Amino acid sequence: MDKTIALAISVGLLSATWAGTAHIFGLISWVGFVSWACFYAAGGGNAGLLKTLPSNFTGALYGFLIAYIPGILHFPFVSFIITTIICMIIVVQSKWSVLSFVPGTFAGSAIYFGNDFDLSTTIYSMLIGAILGYISEKGGLYLAKIKKVKFFRRK
């Protein structure tokens, strides 16, 4: 089977399943889809998964810090200062290969803000999304290896 078609089938089936069931588990489907997209943007495979998860997770943690610290430090422009420092940290941390996927870190932070500052649901939804990305890729590669099946044989 053509690889693109096989991947489309795998992604389509898993996407429908995720979109239809995430809420049952108290998870947010769009959060998972962003992490899923990060998996592919990070190059897919084992390396993509190992870059996506730490980057997304640290991004969510940084989002938490950006939201939390100004609430305990009360001086002018604290939000701007904290945001500046954390964004600088995001770029510097990219020197460490496991945290080198900077877009994934920014995505994790944005997801945290967009998910109404709910850190646990954000983390779990991102985890499932990245894993579904990995499974969808493996499923597509598996389907691509399937040869045409002949149902009728001529004698």
pLDDT tens, 67-118?
999 999 988 899 999 999 999 999 999 999 999 999 999 999 999 999 999 9
Q: Is residue 114 part of a domain?
A: yes
b/e burial code for range 29-59 (CB count within 10 A of at least 16 → b): bebbbbbbbbbbbbebeeebbbbbbbbbbbb
User: Average of pLDDT values for 13-35?
Assistant: 97
Rg of the chain in Å (alpha carbons)? 19
Q: Is residue 38 part of a domain?
A: yes
On whether the pTM is more than 0.85, the answer is yes
- Counted domains in the chain: 1
Lowest mean pLDDT among 6-20, 43-57, 140-154: 140-154
User: Average of pLDDT values for 134-150?
Assistant: 86
Q: Are 60 and 122 in contact (CB under 8 A)?
A: yes
Q: What is the DSSP letter of 23?
A: G
Q: Is residue 7 part of a domain?
A: yes
Q: Are 128 and 32 in contact (CB under 8 A)?
A: yes
